[in-house]
Structure 1
Amino acid sequence: MNAPDAASGALPAQEVSLDVLHEKYAKGDERTIAEVQQRIARALAALEPAPQRADCERRFLWAQQQGFIPAGRIASAAGLGLRATLINCFVQPVGDAISGSDDGLPGIYTALSEAAETMRRGGGVGYDFSAIRPFGSKVAGTASRASGPVSYMEVFDASCRTVESAGARRGAQMGVLRVDHPDVERFIAAKDTGRFTNFNLSVGVTDAFMRAVEHDETFALVHAAEPGDEILSAGGHRREDGPWVYRQVRARELWESIMRSTYDHAEPGVLFIDRMNAENNLWYAEELRATNPCGEQPLPAYGCCDLGSLNLAAFVDAAFTPEASLDFARLREVATVAVRMLDLVLDATQWPLPQQAAEARAKRRIGLGFLGLGSALAMLGLRYDADDGRAMAARIATELRDAAYAASIDLAREKGAFPLFDADRYLQGQFIGRLPQALRDAIRAHGIRNSHLLSIAPTGTISLAFADNASNGIEPPYSWTYRRKKRTADGGTRSYEVSDHAWRLYRQLHGDAELPASFVTALEMRALDHLRMVEAVQPFIDTAISKTVNVPEDYPYDDFRDLYLEAWRAGLKGLATYRPNAVLGSVLSRADDAPVTPAGASPAPDDDPLRKRFEHRPLGELESVTSKIEYSTQEGRKTAYLTVSFLRADGVWESRPVTVERPFEFFMPANQRTGGHQWITASMRLLSMVARAGGPIARALADMREVVWEKGPVRCGHITREDGVRVPVYHDSEVAAIAFMLQRMLIRRGFLDEQGNQVPVGELALRLGQRMQGAGPQLQAETPAEPLPVMNGAKCPECGALALRKVDGCSRCASCHYVGECG
Structure 2
Amino acid sequence: MRQLTQAGQKVFEARYAGKDENGHINETFAEAVLRLARAAASAEKENLKTWEEKFSHIIGELLFVPSTPIWANVGKKDRPWQPGACFVLAVEDTLESMYDTLKDMALVFKSGGGVGFNFSAIRPRGDLVGTTKGQASGVVELIRLYDASADMVKQGGVRRGAIMGILNVDHPEIIDFIQAKNDGGLTNFNLSVGVTDAFMEALEKDLPWQLVFNGTVRRELPARRLWRIIIESAHSCGDPGVIFLDRLQSGNPVPENRINATNPCGEQPLSPGESCLLGSINLDRMSTFEGGLNKEILEETVTAAVRFLDNLIDVADYPLPAIAAATRATRKIGLGFTGLADALIKAGLAYDSAGGRELAGTITGLIRQAAHAASEKLAEEKGCFPLWDKSVFYPDRPRRNAACITIAPTGSVTTMAGCEGYGVEPIFAVAYTKTTNVAGDLEVFSPLFLEYIKDYNIPAETLAVIAEKGSCQGIEGIPEEVAGIFKGAREIAPIDHLLMQAAVQKHVDNAVSKTINLPEDASAEDIGACYKTAYELGLKGVTVFREGSKKGTVTVGRERAAGKVPELRRGEILPRPVSAHGMTHRLDTGCGKIYLTINYQPDNGEILETFITTGSDGGCLVYTEAASRLISLAIRGGISVESITEQLEGTHSCPSYMLARGKGKKVSPGKSCASAIAKQLNQVKAELDQRCGKGCPDKMSIEKWKICEACGEAALERAEGCLVCRNCGAARC
What interval of TM-score do these two structures reach, taking the shorter chain for normalisation? 0.7 to 0.9
Q: Larger deviation: 499-508 or 113-122?
A: 499-508
**Contact map agreement 1:135 1:145 (CA 8 A) in 2:** yes
| SS of the residue 1:352 aligns to | coil
Distance in 1 of aligned mates of 2:236 and 2:11? 31
* Match among 428, 434, 452 for residue 506 of structure 1: 452
Q: Is 1:223 aligned to residue 213 of structure 2?
A: yes
Question: CA, structure 1 residues 247+477, in 2 after alignment: closer, same or farther (shift >3 Å)?
Answer: same
Which AA in structure 2 matches 1:45? A
Q: Is 1:281 aligned to residue 266 of structure 2?
A: no
What's the offset of the Cα at 1:493? 11
Distance in 1 of aligned mates of 2:347 and 2:607? 42
The corresponding residue for 1:103 is none
Count of equivalent residues: 614
* Match among 26, 33, 38 for residue 34 of structure 2: 38
Q: Is 1:594 aligned to residue 559 of structure 2?
A: yes
- TM (norm. structure 2) is 0.76
The corresponding residue for 1:13 is 5
Where does 1:270-349 land on structure 2 (aligned, <5 Å)?
A: 270-283=242-255, 285-317=256-288, 319=289, 321=290, 324-349=291-316
What's the offset of the Cα at 1:657? 3.8
What's the offset of the Cα at 1:766? 10
Distance in 1 of aligned mates of 2:261 and 2:514? 16
Question: CA, structure 1 residues 143+22, in 2 after alignment: closer, same or farther (shift >3 Å)?
Answer: same
CA displacement, residues 216-244 of structure 1 (integer Å, 9 cap, x when unaligned) = 111000111xxxxxxxxxxxxxxxxxx11
Distance in 1 of aligned mates of 2:187 and 2:157? 20
Gaps of 5+ in 1: 4-11, 100-106, 225-242, 429-442, 596-605, 616-649, 670-682, 702-715, 728-743, 753-758, 789-823
What's the offset of the Cα at 1:83? 2.4
Question: CA, structure 1 residues 153+668, in 2 after alignment: closer, same or farther (shift >3 Å)?
Answer: closer
The corresponding residue for 2:92 is 95
Which AA in structure 2 matches 1:172? A
* Match among 631, 634, 637 for residue 765 of structure 1: 637
CA displacement, residues 618-665 of structure 1 (integer Å, 9 cap, x when unaligned) = xxxxxxxxxxxxxxxxxxxxxxxxxxxxxxxx3379xx7446899999
The corresponding residue for 2:716 is none
The corresponding residue for 1:48 is 44
Where does 1:294-443 land on structure 2 (aligned, <5 Å)?
A: 294-317=265-288, 319=289, 321=290, 324-422=291-389, 425-427=391-393
What's the offset of the Cα at 1:152? 1.1
| SS of the residue 1:277 aligns to | helix
* Match among 576, 582, 585 for residue 543 of structure 2: 576
* Match among 469, 484, 488 for residue 419 of structure 2: 469
Q: Larger deviation: 78-87 or 292-301?
A: 78-87
| SS of the residue 2:400 aligns to | coil
* Match among 49, 56, 64 for residue 68 of structure 1: 64
Distance in 2 of aligned mates of 1:91 and 1:278? 18
Question: CA, structure 1 residues 469+420, in 2 after alignment: closer, same or farther (shift >3 Å)?
Answer: same
Question: CA, structure 1 residues 45+505, in 2 after alignment: closer, same or farther (shift >3 Å)?
Answer: farther
Which AA in structure 2 matches 1:506? Y
Question: CA, structure 1 residues 496+366, in 2 after alignment: closer, same or farther (shift >3 Å)?
Answer: farther
Q: Which has the larger radius of gyration?
A: 1
Question: CA, structure 1 residues 135+365, in 2 after alignment: closer, same or farther (shift >3 Å)?
Answer: same
* Match among 54, 58, 69 for residue 53 of structure 2: 58
Question: CA, structure 1 residues 126+244, in 2 after alignment: closer, same or farther (shift >3 Å)?
Answer: same
Question: CA, structure 1 residues 695+327, in 2 after alignment: closer, same or farther (shift >3 Å)?
Answer: farther
| SS of the residue 1:350 aligns to | coil
What's the offset of the Cα at 1:255? 0.7
| SS of the residue 1:449 aligns to | coil
**Contact map agreement 1:469 1:499 (CA 8 A) in 2:** no
Q: Is 1:690 aligned to residue 681 of structure 2?
A: no
What's the offset of the Cα at 1:19? 2.2
Higher relative contact order (CA 8 A, sep 6+): 2
Question: CA, structure 1 residues 691+376, in 2 after alignment: closer, same or farther (shift >3 Å)?
Answer: closer
| SS of the residue 1:306 aligns to | strand
What's the offset of the Cα at 1:20? 2.1
**Contact map agreement 1:30 1:36 (CA 8 A) in 2:** no
What's the offset of the Cα at 1:296? 0.6
Distance in 1 of aligned mates of 2:443 and 2:28? 21
Question: CA, structure 1 residues 449+151, in 2 after alignment: closer, same or farther (shift >3 Å)?
Answer: same
| SS of the residue 2:296 aligns to | helix
| SS of the residue 1:690 aligns to | coil
Where does 1:748-759 land on structure 2 (aligned, <5 Å)?
A: 749-750=628-629
| SS of the residue 2:485 aligns to | coil
Distance in 2 of aligned mates of 1:462 and 1:150? 34
What's the offset of the Cα at 1:170? 1.4
**Contact map agreement 2:368 2:405 (CA 8 A) in 1:** yes
RMSD: 3.9
Task: Report the identity percentage.
Answer: 34
Q: Is 1:253 aligned to residue 218 of structure 2?
A: no
CA displacement, residues 143-175 of structure 1 (integer Å, 9 cap, x when unaligned) = 222221001111101100112232332111111
What's the offset of the Cα at 1:315? 1.1
Question: CA, structure 1 residues 588+351, in 2 after alignment: closer, same or farther (shift >3 Å)?
Answer: same
| SS of the residue 2:131 aligns to | helix
Distance in 1 of aligned mates of 2:637 and 2:338? 43
What's the offset of the Cα at 1:467? 1.8
Where does 1:348-747 land on structure 2 (aligned, <5 Å)?
A: 348-422=315-389, 425-427=391-393, 444=396, 447-464=398-415, 466-484=416-434, 497-500=443-446, 502-503=448-449, 505-506=451-452, 512=458, 514=478, 516=482, 517-581=484-548, 584-590=550-556, 592-595=557-560, 606-608=561-563, 611=564, 614-615=565-566, 650-651=567-568, 657-658=572-573, 690=602, 692=604
Distance in 2 of aligned mates of 1:401 and 1:780? 78
Distance in 1 of aligned mates of 2:202 and 2:574? 41
Which AA in structure 1 matches 2:355? D
The corresponding residue for 1:756 is none
CA displacement, residues 546-593 of structure 1 (integer Å, 9 cap, x when unaligned) = 1111122233444333110111111110000111226x2114321x14
* Match among 125, 132, 150 for residue 115 of structure 2: 125
**Contact map agreement 1:202 1:271 (CA 8 A) in 2:** yes
The corresponding residue for 2:15 is 24
Question: CA, structure 1 residues 497+364, in 2 after alignment: closer, same or farther (shift >3 Å)?
Answer: farther
Question: CA, structure 1 residues 149+209, in 2 after alignment: closer, same or farther (shift >3 Å)?
Answer: same
Question: CA, structure 1 residues 500+311, in 2 after alignment: closer, same or farther (shift >3 Å)?
Answer: farther
